Amino acid sequence: MHSWKRFALALLPATAQTVLSQNVVDLSGDGWTVSSKALNISVPGHLPSQAHLDLYAANVIERYYGLNDFNLRWIVDNNWTYTSDPIQGLSKNSKSSYLVFNGLDTFTTIEICGQIIGTTDNQFRQYTFDISKAISKCKGEPTLALNFGSAPSIVNKIAEDPDSQTWPYGPQQIYEYPNRWFMRKEQSDFGWDWGPAFAPVGPWQKAWLVQFDDNENLDIFRKGQINHLAPDQSQPWVVNASIDFLGTLPDKSSMTIEIKDIESGEVLKSGSLEDVSTSGQSVTGSITIDADAPKLWWPNGLGKQNLYSATINIENKEDKKLASVTKRTGFRTIFLNQLNITEEQLAQGIAPGANWHFEVNGQEFYAKGSNFIPPDAFWPRVTEEKMDRLFNAVVAGNQNMLRVWSSGAYLPDFIYDIADERGVLLWSEFQFSDAMYPTDQPFLDNVAQEIIYNVRRVNHHPSLALWAGGNEIESLELPLIKEADPEHYSHWVGEYETLFVRLILPLVYENSRSISYMPSSTNNGYLYVNLSASIPMAERYDNTTSGSYYSDTDHYNYDSSVAFDYGSYPVGRFANEFGYHSMPSLQTWKQAVDHDELHFNSSTVVLRNHHYPPGDTETDNFHNASMGMGEMTIAVERYYPIPNKHDPVANFSAWCDATQMFQADMYKSQIQFYRRGSGMPERQLGSLYWQLEDIWQAPTWAGIEYDGRWKKLHYMAQDIYQPIIVSPFWNYTTEGLSVYVTSDLWETARGTVNLTWVDLSGKPIPGNAGTPRTKQFTVGGLNSTEIYATGLSDLSLPDRTDAVLVLSINARGSLPNAGDAVSTFTHRNQFTPVFPNKLSLVDPKLSVSFDEEDNTFIVEAKNGVSLYTWLDYPSGVVGYFDENNFTLLPGEKKKLMFHVQKDETGGKWVKDVTVRSLWDQTTTQ
């Protein structure tokens, strides 16, 4: 630990600020000891950290390896104490001393000099403790002890209390450890179907000791804006600044502000804030800015990410600066439109019901993205460097929105900072998922502080898109509880509304005018909002009309026989969750599994698959895990060549590859369907698949593996999330085939689609099988259009098993906010009239070479059509190719660059890049 002097009256040390008359000791770094008296273990500790990480650093335990998620449960079964070295640099004459913790995980008793000064029971809150009296009684330099209790043991005791709330069997989703709903701790720490149940404890965020001699919230919105209504874009901007402080604020204090364009350094606005008032430990003021004065912030692909710095000063009546807070922010409105469909929309052919889409700066747009889960089981090792790599992959993947799934943790500010820079909107959720939660007053009071802190903490980030109450509470938990206890269903709806509508909604509205709120991640919207009513939002629930659309959707169907049946997909206004699991690559498996376990049915591989979870703490989960493995196996067998290689590790790798083929194809089928819906009566305007990234090395729904390696899924999404795409839709039961062009530009685009039938050796099929070789098209903004339709029986295909329809598009249109500039857009897709395992494949005789002059790889198919062309790279490097998982015709050469994000090989990885295709799945070598 080290200490230095800073200056501030306002105190939220996680933020950038300048402070006066204050001694701040940063408690971060070394200088801690972690111990368990019961286990007689004591090792060097750190802050921020968690017990597992410090035990690993001391070589007491191994890393994410093998079955350590089971074998290390002795850690979570015990209590752990973090003890500081004597704290240097404190003043014995200070009038006020405070401890400030940005995050303690979770049940903590805090002692200084052996005196208990407080307890915590919420991982997601900032805690402050007045330790002035305790410090004055210390003999010598003070020491701090943070005693962390075993979370599973504590919540089990809470559950056993006769006064604790109970629920009917059914809605409470148990993954491994039970009773997670009684604690305000990361819910997935107790297990989920894509990750381990380590249930860590420790000081997971930074902490300070602050002394005085004597969370700021920045909200930017259009004048008159209300969270659930569309803002008037002609109104001036209101900048509302609210700063939390410790100590006493002098009478007649004032506030000033200076807002600068970060890129140019030009001052947008400066001067005194108006209507300055103090309430409790917060001081607030506001200022207005002309409607068109700021440069707007736009999401990725829709415009530039213009950012400003806002510096707020607090001054006393003598104009002496007491505190200064600087925030980086942006000017944008973001609105979740759940309003009823208008007469004008009905006249455009949009089906009746209600909207369900986002609008940024008054513009509808198509939300393209995925769901973000905790990137590690241990948040202290989630670094800015790793998140930089991840968000670079998000942007390279043509995504503009991530749904930050609840029941992980609220994201740290640095991740929002990265999202601000990259233009990635973050649909953010409060940490409640797949369970009913207590509604006793102490629980509600605890949650209220959590909500206020986190809403105020991240409100200034332009990337913040939405607050949702929790995950699947309305769409899954209420139906389950209705089935389990139909006689008392209205009571349970009341319990749900107590937490998510009566408590959380007003707290969001009180602390933000700029962000919409909805009580649950998937829902049917609301009938009306009345902020003066005891239940301020009347949710629609099942008050729906046949033929009308109201909701967003989530969709999981593990019956792979209908994976490509468009009729099995939900039709709604927005798709916020859908997916299917796959295996990670061989390179990733090698990070966590011994060589002799590298086969599909090894104990370690099976038990690292947590789909389906055991529902208890049993470590022998072969039955449920085998069902998940079976789903992947059956899917491959239904649609793809079955690997049968002589070498067992090569065969394992081929099976992993095949599960990724199915996953990518299934997601592609759904994303094309949802994007086409932008031009259908449902007016579908969003696709967020499950899930972006991995928390560890295991079978999951992720598109990016734990170390950053892209699966086929992420490459597929990169391709199908391009602004203009051409998509085939095959109804294999009726043999109907149609081809659509879909655009998420805001203006009309025009162009040509080439339709070319070839056999698998690459030769043209005579007469192009009766299909026009070209079709001209015009597609409206945020729309889709059918350019060709036929029946397979109407085509002159000599052999359906030896045919590929290659679709390529060339279009011209204007990107959003590009002015008069016109861009050219290309996209290529393909269709086979049978599934891949029925194709009469030809060896494409692929080759790959490296051009050192322009640092590109050249891939060529010399003999036949190469389907699922896949460039692979060895371990030791992280990055991505410009494109992957593509189709090559014979004679085609494709030049691709590999974007290196991290290289531990000194560039030697280049010589080990390989290429393969669907053909290689059929060989024994």
Query: In the beta sheet, which residues pair with residue 776?
Result: 752
- Other Cβ atoms within 10 Å of 494 Cβ, number: 14
Rounded distance between C-alpha atoms, residue 693 and residue 697, angstroms: 11
CB 875 within 8 A of CB 898: no
Q: Residues 589, 595, 601, 603: is their CA dihedral positive or negative?
A: negative
Q: Residues 767, 770, 776, 777: is their CA dihedral positive or negative?
A: negative
CB 5 within 8 A of CB 23: yes
Q: What is the 3-state secondary structure (H, E, C) of 336-391?
A: EECCECCHHHHHCCCCCEECCEEEECCEECCEEEEEECCCCCCHHHCCHHHHHHHH
Beta pairing, strands 574-578 & 552-555: parallel
Give the DSSP letter of residue 1.
-
Rounded distance between C-alpha atoms, residue 196 and residue 204, angstroms: 18
State which H helix or E strand residue 458 sits in: helix 441-458
Rounded distance between C-alpha atoms, residue 572 and residue 861, angstroms: 41
Rounded distance between C-alpha atoms, residue 43 and residue 41, angstroms: 7
Which of 742, 246, 170 lies closest to 488 in space, CA to CA? Answer: 170
CB 415 within 8 A of CB 424: no
Structure tokens at 768: 């192009």
Strand locations in 373-513 (E): 401-404, 425-429, 464-468
CA atoms in the 13 A half-sphere facing the CB of 19 = 24
Residues near 208 by Cβ (< 8 Å), separated by ≥ 6? Answer: 13, 24, 25, 26, 27, 99, 100
Residues near 93 by Cβ (< 8 Å), separated by ≥ 6? Answer: none
C-alpha to C-alpha distances, 493 to 438, 496, 500, 524, 695, nearest whole angstrom: 13, 5, 10, 15, 33
Rounded distance between C-alpha atoms, residue 921 and residue 38, angstroms: 54
Which residues carry out catalysis? 472
Strand locations in 795-837 (E): 804-813, 823-831
CB 648 within 8 A of CB 694: no
Distance in Å from the first CA to the final CA of the chain: 57
C-alpha to C-alpha distances, 120 to 187, 683, 707, 791, nearest whole angstrom: 17, 47, 34, 66
Structure tokens at 857: 């790889």
Rounded distance between C-alpha atoms, residue 505 and residue 27, angstroms: 35
Structure tokens at 140: 């010598």
Q: Residues 637, 640, 643, 644: is their CA dihedral positive or negative?
A: positive
- Chain length of the chain: 925
Question: What SS3 state is found at 481?
Answer: helix
DSSP-assigned letters across all residues of 289-344:
E-TTSSPBB--TTTS-B--EEEEEEEE-TT--EEEEEEEEE-B--EEEE-PBPPHH
CA angle, 33 as apex, 30 and 36 as ends, to 5°? 150
Query: In the beta sheet, which residues pair with residue 707?
Result: none
